Amino acid sequence: MNTHHLDSTTTARLHALARLTGRPESDLLREAVTAYLEDLEDIRATEESLREIESGAKPPTLAELDEYLDRDLAR
């Protein structure tokens, strides 16, 4: 179990969403953090690819992008 502190506004929003959806706050937090981390990982990978292309590397083909997206969606 990890303990993290949220500001009062975020805590109130979390409580309200939990009441509205009938879901535990822990589930909402876990999903939110997981989605946020996945977004950051995608951004990092995109920025890395952009740097590689800008330095002269060959950009991925459409087939390679499709394969990547298929794997990403399967997560």
- Where along the chain do its domains lie? 24-74
**Would you say 10 and 18 are in contact if contact means Cβ atoms under 8 Å apart?**
no
| pLDDT of residue 72 exceeding 90 | no
Supply the pTM of this predicted model: 0.70
Relative orientation angle of helices 8-21 and 25-54, to the nearest 10 degrees: 110
**Would you say 30 and 14 are in contact if contact means Cβ atoms under 8 Å apart?**
no
Query: Distance (Å, rounded) from C-alpha 29 to C-alpha 35?
Result: 10
- Determine the pLDDT at residue 1: 67
Give percent above pLDDT 70 in the chain.
Answer: 97
**Would you say 15 and 25 are in contact if contact means Cβ atoms under 8 Å apart?**
yes
Instruction: State pLDDT tens for residues 24-41.
Output: 999 999 999 999 999 999
| pLDDT of residue 6 exceeding 90 | yes
